[in-house]
Every structure is written in structure tokens, then in C-alpha cells.
Amino acid sequence: MEKETCGPCKPPPPCGEGLGCARIRGRVARNKKRELALADARLPAIFVGMKPDTLLYPAPKGLYCGMGDFYIDPVQPVERALITHGHADHARAGHAHVLATRETLDIMRIRYGDAFCGAGQIAPLGETITVNGVTVRFHPAGHVLGSAQIAIEADGTRIVVSGDYKRRPDRTCRAFEPVPCDVFITEATFGLPVFHHPDDGAEIARLLMSLRQFPERAHIVGAYALGKAQRVIALLRQQGYDEPIHIHGALARLCEYYQNEGIDLGEIRPATLAGESRKDLAGAIVIGPPSAFADRWARRFADPLAVFASGWMLIRQRAKQRGVELPLVISDHCDWAELTGTIREIAPAEVWVTHGREEALVRWCELQGIPARPLHLVGYDDEGE
């Protein structure tokens, strides 16, 4: 088949003029030409409806839908924001109007306080909402509690913004749901063929093994405060670990929220104990945010052994640089096989790749004959994963 991709063409300029901008008009004309060329080649026209990149495109504040006048996961305060999930780089405070799942709104409230936005609107999963004439629907993304993909549709063209997502079973959130679409916007946090996340149960078994080998040391587990920490706890419980688990203060409210949502985390205790009782934490599991465990906070524990639960831990040098002694490869993102598998399963007409190692996933799509391009969105941080 003749390869006719849009290729890695540049995103619209950050001129703020939106659709009126000359570059955008040029692109519309080019797309028209391409469509005609495709028709000439007797290939099916891919987009019968609206051109996807006039429906949704990157702007300085984030991914923008001009027709519906809303942003998805904007990195700066905007009038109207649709939020995929509660991680800080996707869910920021200060938007006038926020549309998100109930859990994501709750999590934003926990993190930023009641005044996190002007007005919040719940988007029930699977229900259609119309925003300025654009159809919007939220579907579970399997990333963390409340995480969603957002499908937007107008004039017969549907784009699915995956947000961050994973395909592994996770007791702490609803599983990813593939949604057929014209354009699938995928994250690429672990978008390199090197990333193959091992079975999370086996990783947790390594932690339990280390507890048996070093019973006199406190095992300090670095885990992202939203999602990863609760998942690690749930996985430990699943393997029958029923000792109390100690947590850093930064995790307390989110763990409590998960428990209230019916996710059983067993007995959770604060790790901020006073004085001599600290020594009791020898042989215990203490969970804290990744930034805390290499900090002064970790000093209070008996001979701490640094553990870190993250997809990055697959790369030995990453673990070594952080001073991690026991890396656990547990990720809330897809690995390479799951990213490519998902693209195959959804079989969109076009793939847009955002935050992460975009170039490799685009290359893979090219090799498969799937039109793909990187979005080059800025402001999304994958280090905390």
C-alpha cells in the first residue's frame, strides 16, 4: 500500500489565533489536497467528516478543541478544562470550569482545597455530554482511581484522548476500555521497545523476600502518592501481607479516600511516630512519595533500605543513580507491548503520540503503515511515575 501519512508535521503555531491563523488555513488546504490524492489513488478516504486536526490541536496551554472552546489537561489556568485524571501535571488548580469524573474532582479537591476551580461538573463514565456542540464522553483508562479517556466527536469524526492509561489488572481502579475512533491520542511514557513491565505480583514477591532477608531494616518504598502507593498496598494485601503498613503524611488523605471508595488497604498507620517507637519500624514497610525517601525524613528509620516502585526501575542506571537498593518495576502506564497492542486493537485511522518517547512509537506506527505523528506537548512530567 502506498504510504500516505501526515508525517511528523509541525503543530499549529502558538499564535493564539486558533483556526483563523494562516498556518491552520494552510493545513486545511493541504489536508484537502491529500484527501483528493487519496481518492485519486482509489483508496478509501480516511476522514469523511471533519479533519481531526481542526477539531483538536495543541495550543500553548494544552490540547485545545476550538469548536467546543475547551482544553484537555491544560497546563495553565483556562476557562473550560476537561481533566483525564488527578495527577498534578494533568490536573492543575485554577480553571474556571472543570469537567471530570467524580473521583478526579474529589482528588483535585483533596489536593488543592475546595477552591480548586470555579465550578466542577461530574462526567459519569460512558455518558454523553455536549459542550458547545461537541460531543464528549468519558471512558475508564485504568491508570489510577477516577482516570478516564476522553472521546470527543463532531461532524462524524471521533478523537480519543487516552490520557495516561494501562492495561494490567489493578484492583484500585476500573479497567481500560478500548473505544473505536478515527484518531487515537496515546501517551508514550514507556514508548520504547526496552520497556516490558514484569508481572506486578512477582515484583511484590521480591519485596516480601527482601523483608525476610533483611528483617532488621525498615523497607522504605518510594511510590507516587496518587495511585501507585495505593496499588502497592493493595498488591501486598493480595499476597497475604497483613502487617500494618506505615505511610508518609503526604499519602494519608489519598489513602483514606481510596478506603472510603471501597478499596481495602488493610491497616494503615502514620510513619510519623515520635522518638523511640521508630526503632519498631525495623522490618516494617514504610511508603512515602519518591521525593521523601532520599530526604531527611528517611533518617528516622532503622537502617533504611531504599525501595522504589516505578516503571523506570527497569533501567539499572536509573535505579543506581537514585540510590535505590531494591527497584520494583511496577507501573501505572502501558509498556511497549501494551502500547503497540492497544493501537492494533483500536485500529484508528491515525495515531497521535504525546508525552514520553514519542519518536519511537511514531517510528513503529510508520513501520506498520499506520499514519502517526508526535504532538510535542510540553509540561507533562513522567519522572514521578
**Residues lying near other proteins in the complex (CB under 8 A):** 192-196, 198, 206, 213-214, 294-299, 303-304, 306, 314-317, 319-321, 323-327, 357, 359-360, 363-364, 367
Q: Which is nearer to other proteins, 277 or 317 (CB)?
A: 317
Q: Which is nearer to other proteins, 158 or 322 (CB)?
A: 322
Q: Which is nearer to other proteins, 94 or 193 (CB)?
A: 193
Q: Which is nearer to other proteins, 196 or 279 (CB)?
A: 196
Q: How far is the CB of 300 from other proteins (least distance, A)?
A: 10
Q: How far is the CB of 214 from other proteins (least distance, A)?
A: 7
Q: How far is the CB of 246 from other proteins (least distance, A)?
A: 17
- Which residue type does 122 have? I
Q: How far is the CB of 286 from other proteins (least distance, A)?
A: 13
Q: Which is nearer to other proteins, 244 or 323 (CB)?
A: 323
Cell numbers representing residue 258 in the block: 481510596
Cα–Cα distance for residue pair 71/97, rounded to 1 Å: 10
Q: Which is nearer to other proteins, 37 or 205 (CB)?
A: 205
Residue among 241, 322, 255 at smallest CA distance from 283 = 241
Q: Which is nearer to other proteins, 132 or 368 (CB)?
A: 368
Q: How far is the CB of 311 from other proteins (least distance, A)?
A: 12
Q: How far is the CB of 244 from other proteins (least distance, A)?
A: 23
Residue among 255, 259, 287 at smallest CA distance from 272 = 287
Strands (E), the chain: 57-59, 62-65, 70-72, 80-82, 95-100, 117-122, 128-131, 134-140, 148-154, 157-161, 183-188, 219-222, 245-247, 268-270, 285-288, 305-309, 326-328, 350-356, 372-374
Cell numbers representing residue 345 in the block: 486493537
- The C-alpha cell 471508595 sits at 261
Q: How far is the CB of 125 from other proteins (least distance, A)?
A: 35
Sort residue 178 into left (φ over 0), alpha (ψ -120 to 50) or beta: beta
Q: Which is nearer to other proteins, 46 or 306 (CB)?
A: 306
Residue among 193, 187, 173, 208 at smallest CA distance from 328 = 208
Q: Which is nearer to other proteins, 142 or 304 (CB)?
A: 304
List Cβ neighbours of 366 (8 Å cut-off, separation of 6 or more).
Answer: 3, 5, 372
Sheet bearing 183-188, strands edge to edge: 128-131, 134-140, 148-154, 157-161, 183-188, 350-356, 372-374
Q: How far is the CB of 307 from other proteins (least distance, A)?
A: 10
**CA 236 and chain centroid, separation:** 23
Q: Which is nearer to other proteins, 213 or 277 (CB)?
A: 213
Cα–Cα distance for residue pair 283/241, rounded to 1 Å: 13
Q: How far is the CB of 256 from other proteins (least distance, A)?
A: 27
- The C-alpha cell 491544560 sits at 74
Q: How far is the CB of 193 from other proteins (least distance, A)?
A: 4
- Which residue type does 103 have? E
- Which residue type does 50 have? M
Q: What angle do CA 226, 296, 317 make, to 5 degrees?
A: 70
